[in-house]
With several copies, the nearest count.
Chain A
């Protein structure tokens, strides 16, 4: 399933800390929900706690997921389809600027 490319996932801020890497490759995931499941499998409870409101599969309000630079809130949310070569970015609310 899927070419050698797979899906690239980039992490920022607390997600980068939890993962210990700036980005990972995931061979295949049908949609964003499936991708996040895979990330929780790989990185465990800490990732789950950072992604979801406690005890649910609802994304925390402070979590942003972009697919190829577009927020999934403007696409189909967790049901947004993924394909080989997609780049997914995961990060919390931004807070720059003193």
Chain B
């Protein structure tokens, strides 16, 4: 069963998730991969970031579950965890944790980018970047380019 969640800041951490994963690990697990998305202090345009504000719809958890389940059903994947922080997040703080346990390192190295790409493209989660100069939703930034 995949393990996913949407959290406020401070409710979740990589050490806690890793420990939870370790408590019930299959005998065929030889590799664990983790990804942590961190808020950068400089925007794409080089402006100093004050914070990012993440927002999600009520469907976000269901979508994260679906993404995680799609990967977890592979025979060489034991467990997928996706935990997103939806809150006001300062530079240096974590926005997302993705963990994958699988048979070999290739299994987890393949799964991690797929999971992140799908979360970015499919999960109903948005972010607004607030820099010292201005504030904008990140999709607006993409539009300008």
Contacts and interface: CB of A to CB of B under 8 A. Distances in A.
Main secondary structure of the interface of A (DSSP, over half): loop
A30 interface: no
A28 B133 CA distance: 42
B57 to A, nearest CB: 6
Interface stretch (B7-15, B17-25, B32-40, B68-76): B32-40
Given A12-B57, A60-B143, A98 B95 contact: yes
B142 A62 contact: yes
Interface string A79-98: 00000000001011111111
Given A13-B55, A60-B143, A94 B120 contact: yes
Size bracket of the B interface: 20 to 34
B126 A91 contact: yes
Contacts, number: 77
A91 B63 CA distance: 16
Nearest to B140: A14
B126 A96 contact: yes
Given A91-B57, A97-B119, A12 B96 contact: no
Contacts of B128: 13
22 contacts: A10-B57, A12-B124, A12-B126, A13-B139, A14-B139, A62-B139, A93-B139, A94-B120, A94-B125, A94-B126, A95-B125, A95-B138, A95-B139, A96-B60, A96-B84, A96-B119, A96-B120, A96-B126, A97-B37, A97-B120, A97-B125, A98-B39
